[in-house]
Chains A and B, each alone.
Chain A
Amino acid sequence: MAAEKKQILVGEGLFHMPSSPQEKPYLIGSKCKNCGFTSFPRKIICPACVSENTMEEVALSRIGKIDTFTVAYVALPGYPSPYLQAYVDLPEGPRILSFITGCEPKADSLKIGMNVEMVIDTLYKDEAGNDVLGFKFKPLA
């Protein structure tokens, strides 16, 4: 009998995983209480004012805008191809590198400046065949 396939989270502390269908996922960032700069992922040292221990954890907006994107046809092993990849700007400031899901992997599916919403999805399958879950963004209808 094949071993049971599991779902694994891609990393610690990058995003909030909903525990019920009523909850929505969000990215976890940090905001500097000294200069107000907001980072993703969380940082201990503020990259803007370079202060120690001034970064406080914050929930980031779930909706952002596409800064730039590409349709890529060469993927790392275990990742689907072709795929859409983008930088997404969140209103708090962070620019997030992310896959885009929920639309055809074609250049005319996206536009620079388009609104996208963060979702949890399978990023890739690991060598044991487990689904590795992470965040992606999808175009807002």
Chain B
Amino acid sequence: MRDVAIIGVGMTKFGKFLNKGLKDLGREALWLTLKDAGIKPQQLQFAYAANGLAGLITGQEGIRGQVILRDAGLGGIPIVNVENACASASTAFREAYMMIAGGFYDIGLAIGVEKLYCEDVSKSVRALAADSDIEISARFGLQFTAFYALALRKFMAQRALTKHHLAKVVVKNSYNGSLNPLAQYRRALTEEEVLSSRLIADPLTLYMCAPMGDGAAAAILCSADLALKLTDKPLVKVAASAMRSGQFHPPQEEHPSVVTLAAKEAYEKAGVGPEDINVTEVHDAMAPAELMIYEELGYGKGEEVGRMIEEGVTAISGKKPVNPSGGLASKGHPVGATGLAMISEIVWQLRGEAGARQVKNPRIGLIENAGGMVEGEPAACCVTILKK
């Protein structure tokens, strides 16, 4: 296995862009990333292209990557389409990483493109519900907001957490989002605003939930040796890429979650522990889920997770900053682009290029990106650790 570096990242602004298609978003992200890497498109040897829901929303099936990338000037090279619900982009990144680590290619692209907004909102809502087992949960009306709410009510009851703890996560992340020029929402919210916004799935209110979103993000990876020749920027290497799928466990028994298992594997591969991580992006499609992920990543346990948010431990200026980008509820969540947007953020943070939301001198960053739902837990989870 060879060391792999990320020499370029990029993302479009996330938001509602009814006048932009998949090609527009993909082209913009690709060329931003090429410029960041300082290379020409002809230097790319392969591409993994992630998308979650275009088949259901726009009808474009099968060859989304080839359609988007051909229009953006890329052809000839192997292009592989990747679909893994909200974890699609991290999955594409992981495949690209393995291709280079394994020595099959020297330099390649991972890109994620998504358009959730369309003229018919019910179409988008139905498409999102299809990221669960449609014979069981989707048929019984399960909505992802309700799925998070079911888990959160229990989590809160067991750890003496209140709705104020949930709201404080949104206060922190919306402030971070206000510092991020690429975020979908850029207004810092107060606890009162969060709690008085309308209920979506009790205890979740509107401002706690990720919106629909359009956007694209990408990364260019290459062997560490080649990276030294291609770029003068601080070198960001992939320390670990772990991926797990949900698995069987008796429903009533305590068990490590798919996130916990992926994190454990990533820590082992990188030779680090949770205490070594300086900056983190987590998959908080409903912002308060961040509290559950603190525990799953080993950052805190039980009632401590409540104290972490109360005392600002996970703020940009805290000891353990989480979601400096604004997280999914503020930055936006175009599902097939999300993982690479998180990876972009951590690369910018490690290079010291994150502007007003820069965490102080981080050396090791972690990205947790989960997707879909099967039998009550995420279907897929990728945990990536990057180091400077």
Question: Do B136 and A97 touch across chains, with their CB atoms under 8 A apart?
Answer: yes
Using an 8 Å CB-CB cutoff, how does the interface string of B320-361 with A read, 1 for contact, 0 for none?
000000000000000000000000000000000000000000
CB distance from A51 to the nearest CB of B (A): 13
Using an 8 Å CB-CB cutoff, how does the interface string of A75-109 with B read, 1 for contact, 0 for none?
11101000101110100011101110000000100
Contact partners of B153 in chain A: CB under 8 A:
68-70, 112
Inter-chain CA distance A76–B122, complex, in Å, is 7
Judged by a CB distance under 8 angstroms, whether B232 is at the interface is: no
Judged by a CB distance under 8 angstroms, whether B43 is at the interface is: no
Specify which of A76, A85, A94 is in contact with B129 (CB 8 Å cutoff): A76
CB distance from B344 to the nearest CB of A (A): 30
Contact partners of B126 in chain A: CB under 8 A:
76-77
Question: Do A99 and B139 touch across chains, with their CB atoms under 8 A apart?
Answer: no
Specify which of B135, B136, B150 is in contact with A70 (CB 8 Å cutoff): B150
Question: Do A107 and B202 touch across chains, with their CB atoms under 8 A apart?
Answer: yes
Question: Do B150 and A86 touch across chains, with their CB atoms under 8 A apart?
Answer: yes
CB distance from B374 to the nearest CB of A (A): 11
Judged by a CB distance under 8 angstroms, whether A1 is at the interface is: no
Judged by a CB distance under 8 angstroms, whether B188 is at the interface is: no
Chain B residues bordering chain A, tally (CB within 8 A): 33
Judged by a CB distance under 8 angstroms, whether A58 is at the interface is: no
Judged by a CB distance under 8 angstroms, whether A114 is at the interface is: no
Judged by a CB distance under 8 angstroms, whether A129 is at the interface is: no
CB distance from A90 to the nearest CB of B (A): 10
Specify which of B142, B150, B204, B252 is in contact with A68 (CB 8 Å cutoff): B150
Question: Do B251 and A70 touch across chains, with their CB atoms under 8 A apart?
Answer: no
Question: Do B146 and A123 touch across chains, with their CB atoms under 8 A apart?
Answer: no
Question: Do B200 and A68 touch across chains, with their CB atoms under 8 A apart?
Answer: no
- Assuming the A-B contacts A71-B201, A73-B198, A76-B129, are A85 and B139 also in contact, with contact meaning beta carbons closer than 8 angstroms in the complex? no
Contact partners of B149 in chain A: CB under 8 A:
70, 72
Inter-chain CA distance A10–B138, complex, in Å, is 11
Inter-chain CA distance A112–B252, complex, in Å, is 14
Question: Do A134 and B250 touch across chains, with their CB atoms under 8 A apart?
Answer: no
Question: Do A134 and B200 touch across chains, with their CB atoms under 8 A apart?
Answer: no
CB distance from B270 to the nearest CB of A (A): 31
Question: Do A37 and B250 touch across chains, with their CB atoms under 8 A apart?
Answer: yes
Judged by a CB distance under 8 angstroms, whether A140 is at the interface is: no
Question: Do A85 and B146 touch across chains, with their CB atoms under 8 A apart?
Answer: yes
Contact partners of A11 in chain B: CB under 8 A:
135, 139
Using an 8 Å CB-CB cutoff, how does the interface string of A123-141 with B read, 1 for contact, 0 for none?
1100000000010000000
Judged by a CB distance under 8 angstroms, whether A47 is at the interface is: yes
Judged by a CB distance under 8 angstroms, whether B143 is at the interface is: yes
Minimal Cβ-Cβ distance residue in B for A46: B248
Question: Do A48 and B201 touch across chains, with their CB atoms under 8 A apart?
Answer: no
Judged by a CB distance under 8 angstroms, whether A18 is at the interface is: no
Question: Do A75 and B143 touch across chains, with their CB atoms under 8 A apart?
Answer: yes
CB distance from B26 to the nearest CB of A (A): 29
CB distance from B89 to the nearest CB of A (A): 25
Minimal Cβ-Cβ distance residue in B for A85: B146
CB distance from A92 to the nearest CB of B (A): 11
CB distance from B246 to the nearest CB of A (A): 11
Question: Do A98 and B140 touch across chains, with their CB atoms under 8 A apart?
Answer: yes
Judged by a CB distance under 8 angstroms, whether B157 is at the interface is: yes
Judged by a CB distance under 8 angstroms, whether A74 is at the interface is: yes
Inter-chain CA distance A60–B165, complex, in Å, is 39
Inter-chain CA distance A59–B133, complex, in Å, is 23
CB distance from B140 to the nearest CB of A (A): 6
Question: Do B252 and A89 touch across chains, with their CB atoms under 8 A apart?
Answer: yes
Judged by a CB distance under 8 angstroms, whether A67 is at the interface is: yes
CB distance from A88 to the nearest CB of B (A): 11
Question: Do B146 and A72 touch across chains, with their CB atoms under 8 A apart?
Answer: yes
Minimal Cβ-Cβ distance residue in B for A87: B150
Inter-chain CA distance A83–B143, complex, in Å, is 11
Judged by a CB distance under 8 angstroms, whether B40 is at the interface is: no
Tell me which residues from 125 to 139 in chain B have a Cβ below 8 Å from any Cβ of chain A.
125-126, 129, 135-139
Question: Do A72 and B251 touch across chains, with their CB atoms under 8 A apart?
Answer: no
- Assuming the A-B contacts A47-B248, A93-B251, A93-B252, are A74 and B139 also in contact, with contact meaning beta carbons closer than 8 angstroms in the complex? no
CB distance from A17 to the nearest CB of B (A): 16
- Assuming the A-B contacts A70-B202, A71-B202, A87-B150, are A93 and B250 also in contact, with contact meaning beta carbons closer than 8 angstroms in the complex? yes
Contact partners of A70 in chain B: CB under 8 A:
146, 149-150, 153, 201-204
A–B pairs, 24, beta carbons within 8 Å: A41-B136, A68-B153, A69-B153, A70-B146, A70-B153, A70-B202, A70-B204, A72-B143, A72-B200, A73-B199, A73-B201, A74-B125, A74-B145, A74-B201, A77-B126, A79-B141, A89-B252, A94-B251, A97-B140, A112-B153, A112-B154, A112-B157, A123-B141, A124-B141
Pick the 5 closest A-B CB pairs, nearest first.
A70-B149, A95-B251, A72-B201, A77-B122, A47-B248
Chain A interface residues toward B at CB < 8 A: 10-11, 37, 41, 47-48, 67-77, 79, 83, 85-87, 89, 93-95, 97-99, 107, 112, 123-124, 134
